[in-house]
């Protein structure tokens, strides 16, 4: 099913994190950003990675990098957490719709179980059912 607005908010808030790669660190790193220095290997374009868990802090860092004319690139990646497959399944299915269908199914099973139980507790219905089964057996 299509992702709902709530699904997209869940993914943005709890699943995605923004990696900003830069050649040199900015003068000031905004709060909420984790800075990492990448190893110097051949073919690597960027030396610093900044990990932001919120888009506001990433926007503040990107604005600062633009202001100082620094070259950078960004990537949005999934966090490494135990709850990520529950909130954002790999097949892009909606968690909201899955929960809604589970709820509807549970309510249906509850109603059907109560109806069958109330019918079975009625002695007249049980007697008629047993007679019908005897007639069908022959």
Query: CA geometry: angle at 9 spanning 107 and 66, to 5°?
Result: 175
Q: Is residue 108 predicted with pLDDT exceeding 70?
A: yes
Model confidence over 8-59: pLDDT tens digits? 999 999 999 999 999 999 989 989 999 999 988 888 889 999 999 999 999 9
Q: Domains of the chain: which residue ranges?
A: 5-86, 95-137
State percent of the chain over pLDDT 90.
77
Length of the chain in terms of residues written:
138
- β-bridge partners, 78: 16
- pTM over 0.75? The answer is no
Q: By three-state DSSP, how is residue 112 classified?
A: helix
Cα–Cα distance, 105 to 11 (Å, whole number): 26
- What torsion, rounded to 10 degrees, do the Cα atoms 92, 83, 53, 6 define? 50
**Res 67: pLDDT:** 93
Residue 1 has pLDDT above 70, yes or no: no
Q: Rounded to 5 degrees, what are φ and ψ at 3?
A: -70, 140
- What's the mean pLDDT in 115-121? 92
Q: Given this model, what pLDDT does residue 90 score?
A: 85
CA dist., res. 9 & res. 54, Å (int)? 12
Distance of alpha carbon 29 from alpha carbon 52, whole angstroms? 11
């Amino acid at each position: 099913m299509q992702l709902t607005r709530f699904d997209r908010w869940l993914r943005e808030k709890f699943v995605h994190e923004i990696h900003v790669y830069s050649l040199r660190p900015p003068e000031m790193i905004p709060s909420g950003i984790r800075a990492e220095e990448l190893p110097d290997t051949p073919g690597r374009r960027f030396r610093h990675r900044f990990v932001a868990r919120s888009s506001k802090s990433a926007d503040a860092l990107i604005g600062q990098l633009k202001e100082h004319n620094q070259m950078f690139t960004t990537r949005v990646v999934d966090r490494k957490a135990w709850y990520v497959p529950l909130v954002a399944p790999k097949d892009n299915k909606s968690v909201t719709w899955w929960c809604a269908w589970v709820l509807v199914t549970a309510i249906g099973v509850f109603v059907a179980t109560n109806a069958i139980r109330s019918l079975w507790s009625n002695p007249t219905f049980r007697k008629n059912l047993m007679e019908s089964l005897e007639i069908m057996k022959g």
